[in-house]
Amino acid sequence: MEENCRYKVSRKQTNAYGNWICPFCNNVFRTRRLLNEHKKLCDLNKNKSIQKYIIDENGKRKLAPGCHAWNKGLTEETDVRVKENRNTWRENLSLGKFKPAHKGEHLSKEHKQAISNSMKLAHKEGRAYNIGESRWNNEHSYPEKWFIKVLENEFGMKENVDYKTEMPFYRYSLDFAWPEKRLCIEIDGKQHIEDVKQIERDKNKDILLHNNGWNELRVSWSYIYNNSKEFISKVKEFLNDVGNVNIPLYKTKKEKIEENKIKRRELRNKILEDRKKLILNTGIDLNKFGSIEEISSITGLSRRIIYLTIKHFPQLKE
């Protein structure tokens, strides 16, 4: 590439498939338009013309230094050319010769088919590595829906709040990710074991995760289906021990029942203590006749509740 040309190219203007070469300075461009814009400004071009527009580092067209558009500061009232151009534009718009960009445009079936064929050809020639790889509908598979419920019910985690699903990672996506801790869990279906292409893709994904400092737990759905409790324990160990994510231990159904019994017993004792205080605050002797009806009228408690409270605390009659 020649160094005598002041007009350099940026990375966005060239890539591995760029084949538009300047005949004057041998600069390589991604498209023909960029090449033509460059040729007009190339210092090695003896017949170069004075051009008002240049291409910046981002590949966008802008006015060259010291130049301005011919209609800058002009209006319909001050210049006839502006008025004529405006009327021509309105006439073409009313005749439907062009459609404004903000109104959009619906592609025909032939146009869509042409785009599809070009994408298939690009994929076949290796010019587009990710065609057909993305999941456009973003719907979770059954194993992922099952694991989302596990994280919510067992660990108290909410989707896209405590963790992210289908998080973009370079040209891949992570099933379940904790980006702050650099942790991810991948649940593999049948295609991840039988499809050679998918297996190779998973290997490249694992290498990329490792190189970026991520810890990964990859488990097949068949293993989860047959060993769900063991899998949940592994998830707990992975998140707590590896990532230092504080989540509660996995509890069996029997342990949950016992825990609920303890909670109900504590709540019942608290209610009884409150009722005991109400009865004591009245200062009425419970041994005398009609004391329960009198306490009921003062506290608003029913006679049955007062009777059960006295039965639970027999020392109230002393």
pLDDT of residue 54 exceeding 70: no
Q: What is the pTM of this model?
A: 0.38
Q: How far apart are CA 285 and CA 317, in angstroms?
A: 7
Q: How far apart are CA 90 and CA 268, in angstroms?
A: 80
Q: Which residues contact 57 (CB under 8 A, 6 or more apart)?
A: 10, 12
Q: ∠ CA(163), CA(144), CA(153), 5° rounding?
A: 65
Q: How far apart are CA 231 and CA 225, in angstroms?
A: 9
Q: What's residue 243's pLDDT?
A: 46
Q: What is the residue-wise DSSP string for 54-101?
A: EE-TTS-EEEPTT---TTTT--TTT-HHHHHHHHHHHHHHHHTSS--G
CATH 3.40.50.1980 for the 142-242 domain, yes or no: no
Tens digits of residue pLDDT in 223-279: 888 888 888 888 888 887 654 443 334 455 676 788 888 889 999 889 888 888 888
Q: What's residue 89's pLDDT?
A: 86
Q: What's residue 245's pLDDT?
A: 41
pLDDT of residue 133 exceeding 60: no
Q: What's residue 69's pLDDT?
A: 63
Residue type, 125: E
Residue predicted with more confidence, 164 or 139: 164
Give the range among 84-88, 130-134, 215-219 with minimum mean pLDDT.
130-134
Length of the chain: 318
Q: How far apart are CA 35 and CA 20, in angstroms?
A: 6
Pick left, alpha or beta for residue 110 (phi over 0 → left; psi -120 to 50 → alpha; otherwise beta). alpha
Tens digits of residue pLDDT in 167-224: 888 778 888 998 888 889 998 887 777 778 888 888 888 888 888 888 888 888 888 8
The answer to whether the beta carbons of residues 68 and 53 sit under 8 Å apart is no
- The residue ranges of every structural domain in the chain are 11-63, 142-242, 253-317
